[in-house]
Amino acid sequence: MIIKVTGVEENMHQTLQHIANLYYEESTIIIGETDQWDLFIHIIQADKQTAYYTEGQLQDKKDGTKKADFWKETFSGESDKDRKKKAKQAVSHIMVKLLSEYTGTVQPWGTLTGIRPTKLYHKLIREGWTTTQIHSYLKTDYLLSDEKLNLLAEIVERQHSVLPDLYELDRGVSIYIGIPFCPTKCAYCTFPAYAINGRNGSVETFLEGLHYEMEQTGKWLKEHNIPVTTVYFGGGTPTSISAEEMDKLYSHMYKVFSGMEKVREVTVEAGRPDTITPEKIEVLKKWNIDRISINPQSFEDTTLKAIGRHHSVEETVTKYKLARDMGLQNINMDLIIGLPGEGVSEMEYSLQETEKLKPESLTVHTLSFKRASAMTKQKNKYKVAGRKEIGQMMDMTSKWTKENEYVPYYLYRQKNILGNLENVGYSFRGKESLYNIIIMEEVQTIIGLGCGAASKWVEPGTGKITRFANPKDPVSYNNGYEDYTNKKIKQLEELFQINNSAASTK
Ligand code: SF4
């Protein structure tokens, strides 16, 4: 679909392309004159000094008829900058309104792209806005639907309830530890995940590097009296390594991070059921790991095979029951909406099966075609549901979670997500993952250790964000972990010194 747009500046291209992507899987925006177009949108803008007046018109080349009427946005702004911003917003609104009318597709997130909805909500609360003001602003300026506004309000309320000091966490840190191995690589995966078989040599070397990073970081945190709020082992699949290696790793964690008794939550992803053994569960229990994740993704064996999971549904259920029977009390499960070949009936079945297991939390992802995944590279091979059906699956899940007493507690949206929807973390009340809230709302520095671990520095006081990424592949990591550790400690020094000097000038 080629959409020709006239009447706007070239610098609007990215914004308009984002909006077009909400409606069409494949679309190209061309600003200015061209003969190659399927749709033509003409925007008329007029600066009337105190008010900026914008309207638009849409035409379909096939029959040449006007498919949507004029839409008008009238507003006033106080400064040039403000008016420019408003003009851009008005053009976005007009595009959304015209394309919605033309395609019959409703965009519940309106024009909100590229911004984390809950983060924006928190920002407004911190600035002193009331709930009514926030909702009215998001509705007017971003065209958010009531349904999404209510979802945001519910999530923000849960987050405050489990982390009452959410806005004061910036003086502490959380730790992310990346273990880059999995039994096999899933087709949709873009995480640092290397097949573990035959790589034992490099696993050993990797763990040596990781132990070093943990030790140096722990030492620095202790010296500067910086508390650790949560620890999260991800990857890859952290339970891919042996029970003995896990035991040594957690023992090391307790040794090098002082104040482990005050850490509010330690999570270990055990996403692939084929990595779970009774010995490993014993180790998780021995070190008081609070929360684990066992991820079915789907309860259809054919789907699991198609996406390269190499484990069966039966194994998911057996390992889940094993973990439960052995005493693990907080288990998360991940499900993905829109996996290849799946529609409403498969989703319904997955939810019915989940209901029998009653995990404490359920994270519902909507499939996203990430650029680097095997699935995206062979997109034609994988048949996925259309936008309408994806929406139905999402609605069904949301209804199911309500009926089963799960509450939403975090949300994020990704580019190229099917149906322009969202990923939502649900949990029983009180079983929310604190780490997930902290990372989504970017309220605290997260120090990433291990392979592919991204550190996110959140400057205390200002919330300014910078990042540092460890290499994704174990060989590069093994060759350079001392260097990465030193660089990160230097950056941490700067991050917290900025704060110290700011504090001393107050
Ligand atoms: S289990 Fe997770 S990390 Fe491992 S390959 Fe599959 S999606 Fe990637």
Domains defined for the chain, CATH in brackets: 2-105 (3.30.160.100)
Please give the number of the atom of ligand 1 that sits closest to the Cα of 182. Answer: 4
Angle between helices 131-142 and 146-162 (to 10 degrees): 140
Ligand 1 centroid to residue 83 C-alpha, Å: 46
Instruction: State the chain's mean pLDDT as an integer.
Output: 89
What the block records as the tokens of 25 is 């899987």
CA 418 – CA 413 distance, rounded (Å) = 10
Ligand 1 nearest atom to the CA of residue 271, by list position: 1
Nearest ligand 1 atom to the CA of 309 is: 6
Counting from 1 in the atom list of ligand 1, the atom nearest the Cα of 308 is: 6
Question: What is the arithmetic mean of pLDDT over 413-439?
Answer: 86
Distance 257 CA to ligand 1 centre (A): 28
| CA–centroid distance, residue 370 to ligand 1 (Å) | 14
Quick one: tokens of 473?
Answer: 């592949």
**Which tokens in the block code for residue 288?**
């008081």
More confident residue, 115 or 294: 294
Q: Which of 189, 190, 307 to mutate to test the pocket of ligand 1 (most atoms within 8 A of CB)?
A: 189
Give the atom of ligand 1 at the shortest distance from the alpha carbon of 185: 5
CA of 235 to the centre of ligand 1 (A): 8
Per DSSP (E only), the strands in 393-478 are 407-412, 423-427, 445-450, 454-458, 465-469
pLDDT at 441 exceeding the cut of 80: yes
Least confident of 9-23, 144-158, 207-221, 398-412: 9-23
Distance 237 CA to ligand 1 centre (A): 7
pLDDT at 25: 76
Nearest CA to ligand 1 atom 7: 189
The whole-number pLDDT of residue 113 equals: 77
Q: Please tell me the distance between residue 186's alpha carbon and the centre of ligand 1 in angstroms.
A: 5
Q: Which atom of ligand 1 is nearest to the CA of 188?
A: 7
Greater pLDDT, 309 or 91: 91
**Ligand 1 centroid – CA 406 distance (Å):** 25
**Residue that the structure tokens 């684990």 belong to:** 292
Taking CA atoms only, the protein residue closest to ligand 1 atom 8 is: 189
The pLDDT > 90 percentage for the chain reads 63
Choice among 27-31, 385-389, 403-407 with the minimum mean pLDDT? 385-389
Interatomic CA distance for residues 409 and 422, integer angstroms: 13
Q: Tell me, what's the pLDDT at 373?
A: 59
Going from the Cα of 307 to the center of ligand 1, the distance in angstroms, rounded, reads 10
Atom 3 of ligand 1, residue of closest alpha carbon: 236
Nearest CA to ligand 1 atom 1: 272
Residue 79 has what pLDDT? 76
Report the distance separating Cα 116 and Cα 135, nearest Å.
Answer: 15
CA 248, 251, 253, 257 torsion: positive or negative? negative
Distances (CA, A) of 96 to 12, 139, 247, 493: 14, 14, 54, 46
Atom of ligand 1 nearest to the CA of 272: 1
Question: Which candidate, 343, 365, 362, places its Cα nearest to that of 354?
Answer: 362
Ligand 1 atom at shortest distance from the alpha carbon of 183: 4
Rounded to the nearest whole angstrom, what is the distance from the C-alpha of residue 18 to the centroid of ligand 1? 28
Q: Is the pLDDT confidence value at 372 over 60? A: no
Q: Which ligand 1 atom sits nearest the alpha carbon of residue 190?
A: 8
Structure tokens at 324: 């439960």
* Closest CA relative to residue 296, chosen from 370, 350, 218, 216: 350
Query: Which pLDDT value is given to residue 502?
Result: 42
| Closest residue to atom 5 of ligand 1, CA basis | 185
Ligand 1 first shell, C-beta below 6 A: 182, 185-186, 189, 191, 193, 235-237, 271-272
**CA 185 to ligand 1 center in whole angstroms:** 6
pLDDT score for 73:
73
Q: Give the per-residue pLDDT at 500.
A: 46
Percentage helix, strand, coil, to 5, in the chain?
Answer: 45, 20, 30
Nearest CA residue ID for atom 2, ligand 1: 236
Specify the range with the lowest mean pLDDT, choosing from 116-130, 140-154, 180-194, 388-402. Answer: 180-194
pLDDT score at 420: 65
